[in-house]
Amino acid sequence: MPLPLDELVATPALVNERAQDLSWSDLLFEYELALDDDAALLGGLSEKQVHFKPAAKVFSIAEVLTHNCNSDQLFWNWLRLLANDRRPEIDPKDLIGGDGAQNDRSLDALNSLIEACRALARTTIDALPDPGDLTSTVPHPYFGALNAKGWIYFMCLHHGMHLRQAEQVIDTPGFPPGDSLQSLPRDEYLNITPRKPIDRPSVEQADKKPKRQSARNKTPPTSRQKLMVNNKRPATKAKTRRVKSTRRGSKKR
């Protein structure tokens, strides 16, 4: 089920609160859904498209995904320490906005990063103590104090927010065309060309009877055609047949 991004961003305290209602497996499921969305985004893009930057200070799609994945590696480590009651080992100053963004990663490398995050998440969840420490928290600059569950829920939200950012990059004028059958630029493709009107006869023209051919231009009919018009067939030579006499005793005189 998609997270209510707008509601969570508008009410930051809901992030940690909502996370407590979910089990570890539910949280892992939500996180993997977010990774699936990232992988699906890459599935229809080319190298040129993922590295396109709308402006100097605006993330490309490659920068969005590398920022997400590199941040996740830090957050999964924090989650592991929080759940094991090792909060003093965490330095909140390590959280730097926009950290880890790279625009030099290929499509294959980006997909590998996504799968590395998936493997890290599963390994971390499997190794968590039961029930684990949920009292220790690390503050987020905007969403406030988050415990181990809260940080997983935040990661899901974080991916969703940056996925919207990636979609805005795609909608930017000048975004490179894809390697597909569609070769027209985006602006030209969206520009509707008016169709040429079809020449159809008007009502008045349709009611008009066709002109009769002038008698002078007509080819005179042949005698055979005249007979056919009068339902008469041309005369044919009658076939004669010699009949042999079968009478006995007939003699030639």
In order of their start, the domains of the chain are 5-178 (1.20.120.450)
User: Quick check: 241 pLDDT over 60?
Assistant: no
- Please state the rounded mean pLDDT for residues 10-29: 95
The Cα 214–Cα 110 span in angstroms is 81
Q: Which of 37-41, 154-158, 162-166, 217-221 has the lowest mean pLDDT?
A: 217-221
- Please state the rounded mean pLDDT for residues 61-86: 95
First to last CA, the chain: 121
**The model's pTM:** 0.69
Whether the CA torsion 203, 207, 213, 214 is positive or negative: it is negative
Instruction: Determine contact, residues 113/69, Cβ cutoff 8 Å.
Output: yes
Residues sharing a CB contact under 8 Å with residue 2, sequence separation 6 or more, in sequence order: 160
- Computed over every residue of the chain, the mean pLDDT equals 83
Which pairs from 44-51 meet CB under 8 Å and 24+ separation?
A: 44/178, 45/107, 45/178, 46/107, 46/176, 46/178, 46/179, 47/106, 47/107, 48/176, 49/170, 49/175, 49/176, 49/178, 50/107, 50/110, 51/103
- Please state the rounded mean pLDDT for residues 29-36: 96
Residues sharing a CB contact under 8 Å with residue 46, sequence separation 6 or more, in sequence order: 107, 176, 178, 179
Tokens representing 24? 């570890």
Residue 234's pLDDT band, with cuts at 50, 70 and 90, is low
User: Quick check: 216 pLDDT over 50?
Assistant: yes
